Amino acid sequence: MAVLAVVRVEGCTFRVEDAAFWIEVNALSVEDAAFWIEVNALSVEDAGQTEGLSSRPQRRVAR
């Protein structure tokens, strides 16, 4: 079963049409990215550089 997804990144539009297997692989990549963010956050805390991180402007990609 083919899946069509439209992804917008900073004003550019990408059309992705692929099999369900691609979605499963992509979901695994998202889980890996979440794990990396957790590890990176621990590294920042260990370095004692947590001050002011929440005040940084957040860039939102989804519109």
* Structure confidence by residue, pLDDT tens digits, 23-48: 555 665 666 666 666 666 666 655 55
Q: Which residues contact 16 (CB under 8 A, 6 or more apart)?
A: 3, 4, 5, 6, 7, 22
Per-residue pLDDT band at 1 (split at 50, 70, 90) = very low
Which 3 state secondary structure label does DSSP give 43?
helix
Q: What is the pTM of this model?
A: 0.19
Domain boundaries, the chain: 20-50
